[in-house]
Amino acid sequence: MTGQEKKGRWVTAAMLTPSAIWFLLLLVLPLIVVAVFSFGERAPHGGYSPAFTFEQYANLPSRLKAFQNTLIIAPLGTFLCLLVAYPLAYFLAVKVHEKWRLLLLVLVIVPFWTSLLIRTYAWIFILGGKGLPALFEMIGIDDLRLINTPGAVVIGIVYGYLPLMVFPVFVSLEKLDKKLLEASNDLGGSPFRTFLQITLPLSIPGMATGCMLVFILLMGEFLIPAFLGGGKVFFVGNALVDLFLQSRNWAFGSAVATSLVIIMLVVVTVYMRLMMRASAHRDDVSIL
């Protein structure tokens, strides 16, 4: 090994140290603590007392509904986010004149200047009896219940997470080589066919990133279901808040948290595999 190489390694190590310490202290260590706690017991006055028992994991079925709600509404919310975000991102990346693009992109971010908490609270009034249902009543649709339903939670999710989906899709669409579209046109492809065979496949990486971002955050969501679900649409995140802040059952809370982490790891791994296979498949097609 030459001196040059040795020096290079030192520099690399020095530059990686801060992030390594960061991950160790704030990710790995807490995860170990949570895993250890999940085999313990609730102390008499709440909190954690050391033990080695599988009791907490045996109690997991009592939170089955929370896992079900999360595993249904999180993917559904992600999918709807994508449906709403794609046309917007397409418009911003392809259709809009360049001089407006920056302004419109900033407008997508503007909602982030207000806390999600406050924006979600505002939806309570929009979806409440004196909000949208009152408007619907004017056109003859009576007794519409929006607030405190799974539908309200989904609306809140799509609203809150939309920018996170718009940006990755926008980036992949913006990088799209316009020459490919022209080529497709020259070869007689209809605009619809061009979109299906060129634009859509080439924006898969952006969609995949956006879905991943939204889905992972949604799995841990608790604020939107708490506000717009009125405590009736319950996510695993809400169960965790209850277990740590109300019941002070750290052991069971840790077991629920560990299970959630494991479920996420499995889902995300499967998802990545599928995505990699899809993109490998696409390469084959392009070679042919």
Q: Which residues of the shown chain bind another protein in the complex (CB under 8 A)?
A: 42, 44-47, 62-63, 65-66, 124-125, 128-131, 145, 147-148, 230-232, 234, 238-239, 242-249
Residue 12 or residue 62: which is nearer to another protein going by CB?
Answer: 62
Residue 165 or residue 236: which is nearer to another protein going by CB?
Answer: 236
Residue 23 or residue 125: which is nearer to another protein going by CB?
Answer: 125
Residue 190 or residue 247: which is nearer to another protein going by CB?
Answer: 247
- In the complex, least distance from residue 240 CB atom to another protein, rounded to whole angstroms: 11
- In the complex, least distance from residue 126 CB atom to another protein, rounded to whole angstroms: 11
Which of 265, 252, 276, 269 lies closest to 66 in space, CA to CA?
252
Amino acid at 258: T
d(CA 77, CA 75): 5
- In the complex, least distance from residue 29 CB atom to another protein, rounded to whole angstroms: 17
Residue 41: beta bridge partners?
49
> Three-state SS for 148?
coil
Residue 7 or residue 232: which is nearer to another protein going by CB?
Answer: 232
- In the complex, least distance from residue 231 CB atom to another protein, rounded to whole angstroms: 3
- In the complex, least distance from residue 260 CB atom to another protein, rounded to whole angstroms: 14
Amino acid at 174: E
The DSSP annotation for 225-276 comes to HHHHSTTTS--HHHHHHIIIIIS-BHHHHHHHHHHHHHHHHHHHHHHHHHHH
Q: Is 231 left (phi over 0), alpha (psi -120 to 50) or beta?
A: left
